[in-house]
Amino acid sequence: MCLALTPATRDALARWGEHLSALDGASANTVKAYAADVTAWASFLAEHLGGAPAPRALCEIGQSDMRAFMAHERARGLGARSLARRLSSVRNFVRWLTDREGGEATAVLAARGPKYRRKLPRPLSPEAARDMIAQIDVQAREDWVAARDTAVVTLLYGCGLRISEALSLTVADQPLPEVLRIRGKGGKERLVPVLPVARAAVADYVRLCPWPLAAAPTAPLFRGTRGGPLNPRLIAGAMEQARLALGLPASATPHAMRHSYATHLLSAGGNLRMIQELLGHASLSTTQAYTAVDAARLMEAYSAAHPRA
């Protein structure tokens, strides 16, 4: 694909990535995904126009060319949500590029993808979340592995952490404090209260862990069976085994525990802005999805209690 980019465009793309990392705090994975989106767009234009456009020409792509790009992406099976993200990446890049190259980028910046309905988070019920943790605690063959998996899943549900955030904890973070400083997406930091049950679960794991944790304060807290960093797939596998044993749906994943944390806080009267801060969402609109979940659960309960004649 990069052959469809001029050297000047490749250089601009690299500098834009540095801008996203340095000023916007985007993670390496985010920068890589955005760059792939822009590269796909520029590659299409190179074929569509009969040659790779220079940076300024990219800023002046017309409305018909943008429509052709969107039609091409949909024809090859790209979903509405993915196309919307791809266009967002392109607009971000062209906006940055226009500030440096000049040009009239109205057609690109005005391009909008097809509308799509956001998927609602799929949390577990409070009882199912507790059953999940209890099942994980008894299903592993080794006590320390059971304690490890229980500690991680308890952090996901009890603190609303992402799996990557839980596994990024180091030996120096234990014993866990009452309030934990978490660095989330884009390097954004937030303070998260740690429930006593979560602190106790981590302490139990530390007590049983066969690896010498104290010797390496900066090393990962959660270890695999060979002593290396714990692979998140092992937690996903443990949860899959537990959900099958409990008869829970396939949506009972590690991230569902974070959804459950937010939904149960909201049901208990939690403030939406507070929940946004606890989850580390950059936008309140992301957190507002949980209000729709809570309303849907309320209607389900109402319908069950008052069935129509």
Q: Which helix or strand (DSSP H or E) is residue 222 part of?
A: none
Cis before 210? omega within 30: no
Query: Could you tell me if 136 and 204 are in contact, meaning their C-beta atoms sit under 8 angstroms apart?
Result: no
Query: Could you tell me if 254 and 231 are in contact, meaning their C-beta atoms sit under 8 angstroms apart?
Result: no
Q: Is 72 a catalytic residue?
A: no
C-alpha pair distances (Å), 168 with each of 53, 221, 230, 244, 309:
42, 8, 10, 28, 54
CB 165: neighbour CB atoms within 10 A?
Answer: 21
CB 78: neighbour CB atoms within 10 A?
Answer: 17
Q: Is 281 a catalytic residue?
A: yes
Q: Please identify which of the residues 10, 72, 185, 297 carries the catalytic annotation.
A: 185
Q: Please identify which of the residues 258, 259, 261, 264 carries the catalytic annotation.
A: 258
Q: Please identify which of the residues 10, 74, 122, 255 carries the catalytic annotation.
A: 255
Sole residue written with tokens 């509405």: 80
**In terms of DSSP H, where are the helices of the chain?**
7-22, 28-49, 55-59, 63-75, 80-101, 106-110, 126-139, 143-159, 163-167, 196-208, 232-246, 254-267, 272-279, 284-287, 289-305
Which two structure tokens, joined as six digits, stand for 287? 């957190």
Sole residue written with tokens 């099958």: 244
**Rounded to whole angstroms, how far apart are CA atoms 257 and 198?**
14
Tell me the Ramachandran region of residue 187: left when phi exceeds 0, alpha when psi lies from -120 to 50, beta otherwise. Answer: left
Q: Is 188 a catalytic residue?
A: no
Q: Is 76 a catalytic residue?
A: no
Q: Is 162 a catalytic residue?
A: yes
C-alpha pair distances (Å), 194 with each of 10, 176, 270:
45, 8, 16
DSSP category for residue 101: H
Q: Please identify which of the residues 86, 162, 199, 243 carries the catalytic annotation.
A: 162
- Under DSSP, is residue 183 helix (H, G, I), strand (E, B) or coil? strand
Q: Is 223 a catalytic residue?
A: no
Annotated catalytic residues are: 162, 185, 255, 258, 281, 290
